């Protein structure tokens, strides 16, 4: 007897959050298997279709930890789709190089492809080797800045059968040039030409989230004009990044110390860019 089933295959870069993802799906009622041998994927898919087995929702993790994965997975996955007994959902998890390096540093685990090399070398090799599998995915999810709550919300949608493309995460980062430009910045805008609240005694100890600083900056026409120009530029470019399939974009706005002008501008952009289709906005104040 065949039953209604959902069969999720999780794969992606090492350190991108597959363990957290499988736990989220387990909490949502999926029968989950981590690090499944690639050749057993059809067996698990058959199990998911059998109502008498009582495991109608199945999620598995397959990745480079299993020796035959890279060579065998594309053929097995395409054959599984062609059989038609179950419609698999292939989810590919990835993250920025900076996020992956940080996670491996915190866990003190070696990268599976670079046990005797640097983590960065392992990440670069894995990205290249997984490119063909990534191109087969139904959903590519960048986990660089996802919180546990956002992880769960994402997989609740998957559990309900949602297969829509994930929205591009736009991280608006304020920073101070004296502390260095963010390493993962895609677009960088220098605000040091704007009036500096640091030189106003009453504003020095405040930040760009305080209304007194906002009012001071917006009193100057150059601030209002630049904010409008920057908003227009991003409104034009962000949909094109979405169309090109970019999953994650960091827009960095910097001033001298990262406390006043950059913070105010990041908050302004979050407010004015809300509503653009296909993106999810986040704000990070790195130095305030």
271 inside domain: yes
Give the count of domains, the chain. 2
Same domain, 155 and 206: no
The tens digit of pLDDT for each residue in 74-97 reads 999 999 988 877 888 899 999 999
Same domain, 38 and 91: yes
Same domain, 10 and 145: yes
Mean pLDDT of 86-113: 88
Q: Last residue of a domain, which of 103, 137, 159?
A: 159
The tens digit of pLDDT for each residue in 217-274 reads 999 999 999 999 999 999 999 999 888 777 779 999 999 999 999 999 999 999 999 9
pTM above 0.75, yes or no: no
Same domain, 66 and 99: yes
151 inside domain: yes
pLDDT at 163: 46
The domain containing residue 246 runs over which residues? 168-285
Same domain, 176 and 119: no
**Residue 51 or residue 288, greater confidence:** 288
1 inside domain: no
Same domain, 133 and 189: no
Q: Please give the mean pLDDT across all residues of the chain.
A: 88
SS3 111: strand
Task: Give the C-alpha separation, 18 to 11, whole Å.
Answer: 7
Residue 165 scores a pLDDT above 80: no
Q: Last residue of a domain, which of 139, 159, 179?
A: 159
Same domain, 278 and 177: yes
Largest CA distance in the chain: 77
Same domain, 40 and 138: yes
Same domain, 139 and 74: yes
pLDDT at 162: 47
Eight-state DSSP code of residue 114: B
Q: Who's near 62: CB < 8 A, 6+ residues apart? A: 9, 10, 11, 35, 36, 38, 41, 69, 73
18 inside domain: yes
Among 3, 60, 53, residue whose Cα is nearest residue 26: 60
* Residue 22's CATH number: 3.40.50.300
Same domain, 151 and 236: no
pLDDT at 247: 73
């Amino acid at each position: 007897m065949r039953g209604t089933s959902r069969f999720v295959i999780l794969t992606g870069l090492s350190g991108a959050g597959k363990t957290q993802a499988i736990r989220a799906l387990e909490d949502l009622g999926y029968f989950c298997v981590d690090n499944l041998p690639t050749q057993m994927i059809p067996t698990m898919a058959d199990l998911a279709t059998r109502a008498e087995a009582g495991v109608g929702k199945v999620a598995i993790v397959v990745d480079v930890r299993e020796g035959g994965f890279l060579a065998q997975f594309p053929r097995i996955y395409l054959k599984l789709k062609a059989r038609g007994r179950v419609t698999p959902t292939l989810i590919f998890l990835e993250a920025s190089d900076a996020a992956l390096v940080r996670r491996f540093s915190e866990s003190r685990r070696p990268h599976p492809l670079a046990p005797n090399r640097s983590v960065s070398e392992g990440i670069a090799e894995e990205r290249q080797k997984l490119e063909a599998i990534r191109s087969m995915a139904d959903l590519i999810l960048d986990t660089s800045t996802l919180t546990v709550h956002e992880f769960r919300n994402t997989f609740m949608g998957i559990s309900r059968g949602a297969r829509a493309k994930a929205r591009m995460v736009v991280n608006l980062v304020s920073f101070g040039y004296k502390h260095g430009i963010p390493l993962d910045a895609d677009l960088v805008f220098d605000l040091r030409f704007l009036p500096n609240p640091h030189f106003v005694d009453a504003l020095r100890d405040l930040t760009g989230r305080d209304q007194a600083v906002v009012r001071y900056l917006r009193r100057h026409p150059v601030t209002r004009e630049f904010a409008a120009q920057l908003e227009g530029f991003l409104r034009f470019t962000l949909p094109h990044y979405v169309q090109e399939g970019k999953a994650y974009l960091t827009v960095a706005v910097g001033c001298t110390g990262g406390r006043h002008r950059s913070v105010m501008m990041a908050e302004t952009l979050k407010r004015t860019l809300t509503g653009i289709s296909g993106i999810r906005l986040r704000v990070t104040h790195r130095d305030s």
